[in-house]
Amino acid sequence: MSNATESLTITRPDDWHLHLRDGDALRAVLPYTAAQFARAIVMPNLQPPVTTTAQALAYRDRILAARPATGAGAGFEPLMTLYLTDATPPGEIARARGAGIVAVKLYPAGATTHSDAGVTDIRRTHATLEAMQRAGLLLLVHGEVTDPEVDIFDREAVFIDRVLVPLRRDFPA
């Protein structure tokens, strides 16, 4: 039996859910995030939302411009996402994948901050979800329903039954 102490040191972890916002908020928050994290998946629920590849790349440019020039945060890498809407065209997915976008975020309309442009009916996104499945682009999910008949404490559980289970069935990849 060994008496050696074993340890694991994570020197620069990744942040898998980051809200940087934009403008002054972006410039205020990013240096702290970049000092601690090597990479982060950047949420697209800005006002207006990041719904196209061109918008995501422009947002990435603003993030990189606000990144510290020296020190621990100088190498920070933003991993960009798109905001899924009822009208996101399937063709946008190939453009996004080709440009290095890592995921598309599903926000049910009205569920959270800046989600007013979110999905009103998941069935309206099926062609886009099929394109994502073919491209291997990740779907990130804000999982809650906004049905006023559902108690606020049950919104996530109802989302699983109404939306997530059918999504897994219809888009298994």
pLDDT digits (tens, 9 = 90+) for 123-155: 999 999 999 999 999 999 999 999 999 999 999
Answer yes or no: is 141 within a domain: yes
Determine phi and psi for 101, rounding to 5 degrees.
-65, 135
Average pLDDT over residues 53-61: 99
Answer yes or no: is 151 within a domain: yes
**H or E stretch including 135?**
helix 126-135
Answer yes or no: is 126 within a domain: yes
Answer yes or no: is 64 within a domain: yes
Query: Confidence band (pLDDT; 50, 70, 90) for 8?
Result: confident
- The predicted pLDDT at position 134 comes to 97
111 secondary structure, DSSP code? S
- The predicted pLDDT at position 6 comes to 87
Q: Domain containing 132 — which CATH number?
A: 3.20.20.140
Taking alpha carbons only, the member of 59, 172, 47, 68 closest to residue 118 is 47
CA distance linking residue 149 with residue 125, whole number of Å: 24
Question: Contact 14/37 with Cβ under 8 angstroms?
Answer: yes
**H or E stretch including 82?**
strand 81-84
- The predicted pLDDT at position 2 comes to 62
Residue 106 sits in which domain range? 15-170
Answer yes or no: is 76 within a domain: yes
- Count of H-run helices and E-run strands, the chain: 6, 6
CA distance linking residue 15 with residue 21, whole number of Å: 15
Answer yes or no: is 40 within a domain: yes
Tell me the pTM.
Answer: 0.92
Determine phi and psi for 77, rounding to 5 degrees.
-120, 115
Q: Count of domains in the chain?
A: 1
